[in-house]
Amino acid sequence: MKLTLRIWRQKDAKSKGAFVTYTAEADEEMSFLEMLDVVNEGLIQRGEEPIAFDHDCREGICGTCGFVINGRAHGPRERTTVCQLHMRSFQDGDTLTLEPWRADAFPVLKDLVVDRGAFDRIIAAGGFIASAIGGAPDANAIPIRKENADLSMDAAACIGCGACVAACPNAAAMLFVSAKMGHLAMLPQGQPERMDRARAMVAQMDAEGFGTCTNHGECEAACPKAIRMEFIGRMNADYVKASLTGGRRAAGSEGGSG
Ligand code: FES
């Protein structure tokens, strides 16, 4: 298949970017990133700068890849990262516009690559457990309700790709932050620091310049891991509780209830 690609080219964080048009040939079995690899081989052979884009696992696991294709974060397929997207999702003759995540908190570093360090700083603010818990306990040594275990696993599926921010008209990061808080808030091990975590991560999210959720739902639609907006509600409840009580532990949360 033959494609026309309009790709955002930007030399570095300080330079002004612009769309540049390329033609590409691809097999429908190729992944989207393999198609870009071929385009880049051609650019290198012509002595031109290859297109910069992030990737690592190419298996939908690491969250490193991500850009916007024709206005949609990660492209047209639901629950699919751009590294797992295949050219059979497109038609011969299509024109595809590729641009980086657009958000003040994700400055463009080069071409399709943005700086997602803001996510790392939010995690560093509280997205972890600091308790000394010794060696790994036997499975099932700590009983956890199935409902909570399932919710925790659902939230833990977040790969931190940033599609939620790119899709949100407010560039809000609340789906990401709520997932990273949520998977810990459902488990007993996450309780001792639960309120401190809520305050610290929300404060860091605000300090990074992300917007606020106004219930558009674009984040949930764009998320390749189907993280649900219900986690935002759970995060807000924890944050309000933490702000009102100043306590370190959510009332009635000893068993890891949501
Ligand atoms: S490269 Fe790892 S999720 Fe896409």
pLDDT (tens digit per residue) in 115-140? 999 999 999 999 999 877 778 878 78
Q: Is 85 in the pocket of ligand 1 (CB under 6 A)?
A: no
**Span from the CA of 54 to the centroid of ligand 1 (angstroms):** 8
> If you average pLDDT over every residue of the chain, what do you get?
94
* Structure tokens belonging to residue 9: 């080219």
Cβ atoms of 235 and 152 within 8 Å: the answer is no
Could you tell me the pLDDT band of residue 103, with boundaries at 50, 70 and 90?
A: very high
**Tens digit of each residue's pLDDT (9 = 90 or more) over 155-165:** 999 999 999 99
pTM, whole model, 2 decimals? 0.93
Q: Is 60 in the pocket of ligand 1 (CB under 6 A)?
A: yes
Which of 94, 73, 84 is closest to 164 using CA atoms? 73
* Structure tokens belonging to residue 144: 């956890």
Q: Is 75 in the pocket of ligand 1 (CB under 6 A)?
A: no
Q: Is 57 in the pocket of ligand 1 (CB under 6 A)?
A: yes
- List residues bridging with 3 in a β-sheet: 24
Query: What are the distances in angstroms from CA 31 to CA 37, 75, 84?
Result: 10, 12, 7
**Span from the CA of 81 to the centroid of ligand 1 (angstroms):** 7
Query: What are the distances in angstroms from CA 220 to CA 44, 212, 227?
Result: 38, 15, 6
* Terminal Cα-to-Cα distance of the chain (whole angstroms): 49
Domains in the chain with CATH codes: 2-110 (3.10.20.30), 116-245 (1.10.1060.10)
pLDDT surpassing 60 at residue 256: no
Dihedral sign from CA coordinates of 168, 222, 163, 207: positive
Residue 190 phi/psi, 5-degree rounding, is: -90, -5
Q: Is 221 in the pocket of ligand 1 (CB under 6 A)?
A: no
The H or E element containing residue 199 is helix 194-207
